[in-house]
């Protein structure tokens, strides 16, 4: 660190978990084994390095629905800054201060005339398991209605956000058990505040 | 004059001396015998066996195809004269019709430039009826929110004069997605799954200067984004009954034709200033301020014909003409500052603070005309506006004490506070804006252990008694712990383990949220005899998740329990065995794979065993083949299972 202390890569060091847990630089950077090992750039090599310690996280990528890390088309550093960042989990940012997810999922970035608040207030992890899931679309629940209704269950203006859907949402009908059948623009809409188009 | 100004700007950059911090010495000139091109090429052919079960699920999960492939290329080019470059690295992965292709080029010349180009092409196919299919009970297995798209990104970055005191850099990224899919045209009383064309692209330009000195570093960056989204949804003609077959007032609703065209344009300017400094030997300071100002305009034109019902006036109509003009602005500023103080030996105090503030103001103007033949049923002009505000703040102080050379203890406190305001939701009863507060006091504790070179471990624990949260499922009254350890038992044997726990509760009446997640993982890396004959890398994980929360049934407002359970076993393993060869022929057998088996709310079994043989002929040529099996079964969604095997053979050329 004597030489590298004041370099841009160290910007989030004090907020990152690696520095806090005193992970040595040489745990990831092999200084005597050539350029490829000094700063691994290949996705497979990066992922191997991270998985050596983050075994539980790597196990999440063995689920059927996942980001394509085992296929080596993405690497852990696409979403996380190993040197640390001010966001939780040392998540990467894009376009200054937007969450790193929007680098690839640009169509969810907005700004929308009608935003779905959790996307901005709490982030994608409110509804999705970003590493991997047994549920389609990396959802946190096995059926859509539970993802939605666990928040949309507040009668009146209570302490938590999210009201109750109007009474015609009869859960006995399959139409209403699949919320995105109608609320197609669930991440935000430019045209409809009920997020239907 | 322009040339003069250009020279004036560039001259100091070129003339600058390296910063005081020691820089890596330029590599020694290469011997003339050293190869200028080195690396490997993996070429081959993949056969895909018959896919049993649901082919769309196979495409949604695996999606690998048959044919000749360039499985990988990893080439390094060095210029002995070092005139234009010192080294160029070219890497490619999965070319030849595979769903995920990547390419990367890194070029550098010591002290002059570093250039990188990264290309990714990801196919995104998703057709899983269990996600969104209201007609499944009628025997139709259709995902009404399906996609068959590709997403491509191209990243360019150029750093000039790396290692000097002033380093300008430029970057450009294009990210675009296109393809087709199925989505619903949603109208009163019915929705119609129809075809959609998707196209979006984002161009992100940025540039800046890095100033690096021995005691501080400063980066100034300015960038901008242009974004376009031109989604179109259409039904060319023909009667489409939609999801609802029951008549309203003795009339069936149907769609004859539809077209819905979006024209979304967005731009954003963003700026950032970041610094690190250690003004005194016992003080490190880091800080950044980031600001972005995205702005969107959107137009939507919709025309549809058929037989529809307007619930607001209870009248049938046969044609709808809609135009919507929308606009949104979302200024967003973030700042963070952190300091590490080392007032006495063995003690470090880390203080950090961050804030994130955004304000989205959006509005849309709808013009709508409903016609029944030549008669106008309804004409509307509706203006709607919404506002979303977030002010998030976090302050944390942590003290780290190096108790001994091998043990450091940590303790601290985090305070999270803020407020948010969300729009008047259509589904809030009664209607009205929601505003909420966030308050969270979190206690932090931890330890880091390092015993010689063989053992290292860390423990992290945090807990909060809960106060106020934005959402019912947010972190509230929670405890989170994580233990990581890595032990080199023998020079040839490494064990690594993880234990994690998250317990979160919100006991408020009507919520009763109780969440518990545990995960344990063990990794074994065994390389006896220096890995010359055998090596094994195996990992096993066990995770459980339990979630209970009350929700309301919309039609009755009665309370029900949403419960979710998952008990999962996961494992990956790869064993390499070197087989007896003769002379320069060196065969190697590898076998292993991965498995995931879970029970609970969505039981699933996903197996991917593999076996691989590689035979090296001298040092430059290797022939390999691989067999891999993919099988997914889901007990409650049997229609979404598949099984297939793949056989791959290829040559690896080493240069």
Is the same domain home to A124 and A93?
no
pLDDT at res. B313: 83
- Paired strand residues for B260: B233, B302
Tell me the per-residue pLDDT of B104-125, one tens digit each, with 9 for 90 and over. Answer: 999 999 889 999 999 999 999 9
Q: Check: CB of residue B397 under 8 Å from CB of residue B351.
A: yes
Residue B192 has pLDDT above 90, yes or no: yes
Over residues A6-27, mean pLDDT? 85
Give the angle B547-B552-B555 at the CA atoms, nearest 5°. Answer: 145
Tokens representing B535? 């090596």
pLDDT average, residue stretch B308-323: 92
A152 and A132 part of one domain: yes
Name the residue with higher pLDDT: A13 or B626.
B626
Nearest to B545 by CA among B506, B502, B516: B516
Residue A125 lies in a domain: yes
Please identify among residues 78-107 of chain A the ones whose CB lies closer than 8 Å to any CB of chain B: 86, 93-98, 103-104, 106-107
pLDDT of B515 over the 70 cut: yes
Note whether residue A195 is domain-resident.
no
User: For position B425, what pLDDT does the model report?
Assistant: 57
Closest residue on chain B to A54 (Cα): B498
pLDDT of residue A93: 92
Q: Does residue B431 surpass a pLDDT of 60?
A: no
Note the CATH number of domain B43-654: 2.40.170
Dihedral angle over CA of B158, B164, B166, B167, nearest 10:
10
The band of B1, judged by pLDDT with boundaries at 50, 70 and 90, is: very low
Sequence-ordered list of residues with C-beta below 8 angstroms from that of B19, at least 6 positions apart, any chain: B163, B164, B165, B212, B213, B214
The reply to whether residue A113 touches residue B500, judged by beta carbons under 8 angstroms, is no
Lowest-confidence pick of A35-39, A86-90, B228-232: A35-39
Tokens representing residue B445 in the block:
């504790």
Q: Over 70: is that where the pLDDT of B15 sits?
A: no
Nearest residue of chain B to residue A163 (CA atoms): B428
CB within 8 Å of B491: residues ≥ 6 apart = none
pLDDT the model gives residue A160? 84
Res B8: pLDDT: 45
Residue pLDDT, tens place only, A46-68: 999 999 889 999 999 999 999 99
The alpha carbon of A157 is separated from its chain's Cα centroid by a whole number of angstroms, namely 29
Task: Tell me, yes or no, whether A194 lies in a domain.
Answer: no
A140 lies in the same domain as A178: yes
Angstrom distance (rounded) from CA B173 to CA B441 = 40
- E strand or H helix at B4, and its extent? helix B2-15
- Pick from B233, B248, B471, B487 the residue to mutate for testing the A interface (most A CBs within 10 Å): B471
Give the range among A112-121, B4-13, B157-166, B339-348 with minimum mean pLDDT: B4-13
In this structure, are A98 and A137 located in the same domain? no
Task: Identify the pLDDT of residue B455.
Answer: 93
pLDDT of residue B478: 96
What span, in angstroms and rounded, lies between the C-alpha atoms of B478 and A17?
A: 19
Cα-based distances in Å from A121 to A173, B278, B421, B425: 31, 34, 10, 15
Partnered with residue B608 across adjacent β-strands are B594
- DSSP code per residue over B297-322: EEEEEEEEEEEEEETTTTEEEEEEEE
Domain co-membership, A35 together with A99:
yes
What is the structure's pLDDT at B429? 46
Whole-number pLDDT of residue A33: 72
Q: Is pLDDT of B337 > 60?
A: yes
Q: Phi and psi at residue B554, in whole multiples of 5°? A: -55, -35
Is there a contact between B131 and A144 if contact means CB atoms under 8 Å apart? yes
> Given pLDDT bands bounded at 50, 70 and 90, which one contains residue B199?
very high
Chain-chain contact of B276 with A5 (C-beta, under 8 angstroms):
yes
Domain end point (choices A68, A103, A138): A103
Q: Is A110 on the interface with B (CB under 8 A)?
A: yes
Q: What is the pLDDT of residue B312?
A: 83
A95 and A119 part of one domain: no
- Flag if A191 and B89 touch (Cβ within 8 Å): no
Please give the share of chain B, as a percent, with pLDDT higher than 90: 77
Residue-by-residue DSSP string for B81-107 = T-SS-SEEEEEEEEESS-SEEEEEEEE
A132 & A96 share domain = no
Please indicate, yes or no, whether residues A97 and A15 belong to a single structural domain of this protein.
yes
> What mean pLDDT is predicted for residues A117-138?
94
What integer pLDDT is reported at residue B4 of this predicted model? 47
Q: Domain count of chain A?
A: 2
Of the pLDDT bands very low, low, confident and very high (cuts 50, 70, 90), residue B613 is: very high
Instruction: From residue B293, give the alpha-carbon distance in Å to each of B268, B271, B357.
Output: 5, 9, 12
Mean pLDDT of B75-86: 88
- Do residue A23 and residue A93 come from a single domain? yes
Residues of A in contact with B420 (CB under 8 A): 117, 121, 161
- Per-residue pLDDT at B603: 96
Q: Are residues A98 and A121 in the same domain?
A: no
Is residue B514 predicted with pLDDT exceeding 90?
Answer: yes
Query: Which structural domain, as residue segments, surrounds residue A39?
Result: 8-103
A150 and A176 in one domain? yes
* Residue B251: other Cβ atoms inside 10 A: 11
Provide the pLDDT confidence category of residue B434 given band limits of 50, 70 and 90: confident
Q: What is the pLDDT of residue B5?
A: 44
Give the mean pLDDT of chain B.
Answer: 90
Q: Report, as an integer, the average pLDDT of B122-140.
A: 88
Distance CA B14, CA B470 (A): 52
Is the minimum CB–CB distance between A45 and chain B shorter than 8 Å?
no
pLDDT at B422 over 70: yes
Query: What string of DSSP letters covers B599-645?
Result: EESS-EEEEEEEEEEEEEETTTEEEEEEEEEEEEE-TT-GGG-EEEE
CB atoms within 10 A of CB B211: 15
What is the ipTM, given to two decimal places?
Answer: 0.93
Domain ranges of chain B: 43-654
Q: Is B635 exposed, middle or buried (0-12, 13-18, 19+ CB in 10 A)?
A: exposed
Q: Using a CB–CB cutoff of 8 Å, tell me whether B470 touches chain A.
A: yes
Of A85, A103, A121, the residue that ends a domain is A103
How many Cβ atoms sit within 10 Å of the Cβ of residue B322?
Answer: 18
Annotate B529-562 with DSSP letters as a single string: GGGTSEEEEEEEEEEEEEEEEEEE-TTT--EEEE
**What would the mean pLDDT of B69-84 be, rounded to a whole number?**
90
- Both A92 and A147 in one domain: the answer is no
d(C-alpha B285, C-alpha B269), whole Å? 27
pLDDT at B35: 64
């Amino acid at each position: 660190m004597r030489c590298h202390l004041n370099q841009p890569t160290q910007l989030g060091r004090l907020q990152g978990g690696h520095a806090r847990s005193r992970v040595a630089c040489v745990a990831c950077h092999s200084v005597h084994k050539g350029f490829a090992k000094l700063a691994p750039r290949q996705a497979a090599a990066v992922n191997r390095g991270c998985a050596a310690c983050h075994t539980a996280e790597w196990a999440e990528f063995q689920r059927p629905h996942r980001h394509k890390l085992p296929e080596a088309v993405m690497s852990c550093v696409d979403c996380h800054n190993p040197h640390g960042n001010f966001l939780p989990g040392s998540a990467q940012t894009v376009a200054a201060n937007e969450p790193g997810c929007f680098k690839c999922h640009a169509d969810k970035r907005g700004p929308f005339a009608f935003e779905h608040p959790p996307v901005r207030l709490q982030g994608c992890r409110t509804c999705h398991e970003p590493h991997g899931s047994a549920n389609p679309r990396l959802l946190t629940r096995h059926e859509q209605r539970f993802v939605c209704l666990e928040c949309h269950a507040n009668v009146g203006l209570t302490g938590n956000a999210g009201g109750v859907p109007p009474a015609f949402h009869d859960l006995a009908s399959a139409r209403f058990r699949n919320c995105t059948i109608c609320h197609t623009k669930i991440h935000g809409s430019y045209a409809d505040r009920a997020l239907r188009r | 004059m322009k040339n003069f100004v250009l020279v004036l700007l560039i001259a100091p950059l070129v003339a600058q001396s390296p910063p005081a911090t020691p820089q890596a010495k330029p590599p020694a000139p290469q011997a003339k015998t050293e190869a200028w091109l080195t690396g490997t090429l993996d070429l081959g052919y993949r056969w895909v066996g018959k896919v049993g079960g649901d082919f769309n699920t196979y495409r949604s999960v695996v999606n690998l195809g048959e044919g000749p492939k360039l499985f990988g290329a990893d080439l390094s080019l060095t210029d002995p004269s070092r005139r234009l470059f010192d080294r160029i690295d070219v890497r490619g992965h999965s070319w030849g019709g595979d769903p995920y292709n990547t390419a990367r080029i890194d070029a550098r010349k010591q002290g002059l430039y570093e250039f990188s180009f990264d290309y990714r092409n990801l196919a995104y196919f998703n057709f899983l009826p269990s996600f969104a299919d209201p007609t499944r009970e009628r025997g139709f297995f259709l995902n009404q929110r399906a996609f068959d798209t590709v997403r491509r990104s191209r990243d360019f970055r150029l750093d000039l004069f790396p290692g000097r005191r002033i380093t300008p850099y430029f970057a450009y990224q294009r990210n675009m997605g296109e393809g087709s899919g199925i989505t619903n045209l949603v109208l009163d009383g019915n929705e119609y799954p129809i075809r959609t064309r998707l196209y979006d692209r984002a161009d992100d330009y940025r540039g800046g200067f890095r100033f690096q000195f021995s005691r501080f570093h400063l980066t100034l960056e300015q960038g901008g984004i242009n974004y376009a989204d031109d989604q179109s949804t259409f039904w060319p003609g023909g009667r489409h009954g939609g999801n609802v077959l029951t008549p309203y007032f003795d009339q069936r609703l149907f769609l004859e034709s539809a077209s819905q065209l979006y024209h979304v344009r967005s731009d954003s300017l963003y700026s950032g200033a970041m610094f690190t400094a250690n003004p005194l030997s016992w003080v490190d300071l880091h800080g950044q301020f980031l600001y972005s100002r995205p702005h969107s305009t959107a137009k939507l034109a919709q025309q549809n014909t058929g037989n529809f019902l307007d619930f607001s006036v209870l009248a049938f109509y046969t044609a709808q003409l809609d135009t919507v003009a929308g606009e949104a602005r979302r200024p967003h500023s973030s700042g963070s500052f952190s300091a590490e103080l080392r007032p006495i030996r063995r003690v470090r105090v880390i203080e950090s603070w961050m804030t994130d503030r955004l304000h989205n103001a959006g509005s849309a103007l709808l013009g709508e005309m409903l016609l029944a033949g030549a008669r106008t049923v309804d004409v509307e002009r509706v203006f709607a506006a919404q506002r979303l505000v977030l002010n998030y703040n976090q302050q944390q102080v942590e003290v780290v004490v190096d108790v001994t050379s091998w043990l450091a203890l940590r303790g601290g406190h985090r305070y999270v506070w803020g407020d948010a305001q969300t729009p008047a939701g259509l589904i809030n009863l009664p209607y009205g804006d929601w505003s909420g507060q966030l308050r969270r006091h979190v206690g932090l504790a931890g330890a880091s252990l390092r015993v010689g070179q063989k053992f290292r471990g860390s423990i992290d624990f945090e807990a909060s008694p809960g106060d106020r949260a934005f959402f019912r499922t947010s972190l509230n009254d929670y405890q989170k712990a994580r233990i990581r350890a890595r032990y080199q038992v023998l020079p040839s044997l490494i064990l690594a383990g993880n234990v994690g726990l998250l317990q979160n509760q919100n006991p408020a009446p009507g919520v009763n949220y109780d969440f518990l997640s545990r995960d344990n993982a063990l990794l074994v890396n065994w390389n006896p005899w220096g890995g010359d004959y055998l090596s094994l890398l195996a990992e096993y994980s066990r995770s459980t998740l339990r979630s209970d929360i009350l929700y309301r049934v919309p039609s009755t407002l009665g309370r029900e329990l949403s419960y979710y359970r998952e008990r999962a076993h996961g494992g990956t393993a790869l064993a390499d065995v070197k087989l007896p060869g003769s002379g320069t022929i060196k065969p190697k057998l590898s076998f292993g794979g991965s498995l995931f088996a879970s029970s609970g709310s969505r039981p699933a079994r996903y197996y991917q065993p593999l076996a691989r043989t590689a035979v090296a002929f001298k040092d430059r040529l290797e022939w390999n083949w691989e067999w891999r099996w993919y099988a997914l079964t889901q007990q409650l969604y049997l229609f979404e299972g598949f099984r297939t095997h793949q056989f791959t053979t290829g040559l690896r050329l080493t240069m």
